[in-house]
């Protein structure tokens, strides 16, 4: 790895912008950029101390678990779409050593922490100018994409052989990870409760009158 690859910068303007090119064509441009700028490090504006290392999935701690990352666009988000890994972020408040950073074909950026998928930036420009959002604007848990699907809907789609096959594959996958799904859902709920508690504590601290923060001075005894 050359010296130029190890230099840290805070400028992400080199990433290709959509400019009217969307979908698979845009993600292909991003993939080419990631490979050409592999191992480059960038300091993010937020959170303080966070660093993005550009690279494909193979450079992350999930290199031996590609199906887990590839499944993020299928089993977490309410709408399907392609995503590509552009690197990983270290030094965040998210509960992981590496937050796997992906960009969706719609231009939004998502971070995967091993349990949840977080919408961390609305665009590459957002990432460049403001850094990662914490808390995330939205967070998704495994299988959330199917939470609102009704039995009537499934009755209709089962008439299609192709969809029936896909449904069977998904059922087998969910069955194999049933306990894991329950665990992740509980973790997600616990995290949401913790975020609300921290937010409530933070707001209450800001509302304290300044007089309460001043300790009373001792009264001197007369000589």
| Over residues 15-33, mean pLDDT | 86
Report if residue 185 sits inside a domain.
no
How much is the pLDDT for 31? 96
Number of domains in the chain: 1
Percent over 70 (pLDDT), the chain:
78
Report if residue 200 sits inside a domain.
no
pLDDT tens column, 137-185: 999 988 776 676 666 765 665 676 766 777 777 777 777 777 777 777 8
Report if residue 191 sits inside a domain.
no
Report if residue 50 sits inside a domain.
yes
Given a contact cutoff of 8 angstroms between Cβ atoms, the answer to whether 125 and 107 are in contact is no
Report if residue 164 sits inside a domain.
no
Report if residue 128 sits inside a domain.
yes
- From the list 97, 117, 94, 119, the residue with the least C-alpha distance to 109 is 119
Q: For the chain, give the mean pLDDT.
A: 83
pLDDT interval class at 116 (50, 70, 90): very high
3-state secondary structure the chain: CCHHHHCEECCCCCCCCCCCCCCHHHHHHHHHHHHHCCCCEEECCCCCCCEEEECCHHHCCCCCCHHHHHCHHHHCCCCCCCEEEEEEEECCCCCCCCEEEEEECCCCEEEECCCEEEEEECCHHHHHHHCCCCCCCEEEECCHHHCCCCHHHHHHHCCCHHHHHHHHHHHHHHHHCHHHHHHHHHHHHHHHHHHHHHHHHHHHHHHCCHHHHCCCCCCCCCC
For residues 202 and 107, the model is more confident at 107
Q: Is the pLDDT of residue 211 over 60?
A: no
For residues 58 and 208, the model is more confident at 58
Residue 112, domain extent: 3-141
Report if residue 183 sits inside a domain.
no
Report if residue 207 sits inside a domain.
no
């Amino acid at each position: 790895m050359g010296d130029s690859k190890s230099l840290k910068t805070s400028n992400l303007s080199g990433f290709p912008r959509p400019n009217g090119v969307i979908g698979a064509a845009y993600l292909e441009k991003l993939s080419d950029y990631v490979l050409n700028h592999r191992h480059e490090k960038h300091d993010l504006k937020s959170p303080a101390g966070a660093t993005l290392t550009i690279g494909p999935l193979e450079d992350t701690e999930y290199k031996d678990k590609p199906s887990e990352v590839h499944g993020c666009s299928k089993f977490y988000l309410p709408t399907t779409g392609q995503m590509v890994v552009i690197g990983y972020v270290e030094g965040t408040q998210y509960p992981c050593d590496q937050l796997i950073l992906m960009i969706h074909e719609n231009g939004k950026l998502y971070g995967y922490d091993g349990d949840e998928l977080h919408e961390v930036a609305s665009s590459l420009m957002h990432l460049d100018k403001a850094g990662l959002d914490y808390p995330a604007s939205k967070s998704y848990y495994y299988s959330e994409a199917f939470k609102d699907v009704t039995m009537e809907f499934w009755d209709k789609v089962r008439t299609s052989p192709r969809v029936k096959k896909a449904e069977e594959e998904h059922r087998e996958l969910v069955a194999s990870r049933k306990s894991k799904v329950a665990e992740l859902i509980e973790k997600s709920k616990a995290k949401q409760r913790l975020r609300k508690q921290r937010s409530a504590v933070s707001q209450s601290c800001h509302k304290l009158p300044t007089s309460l923060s001043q300790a009373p001075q001792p009264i001197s005894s007369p000589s």
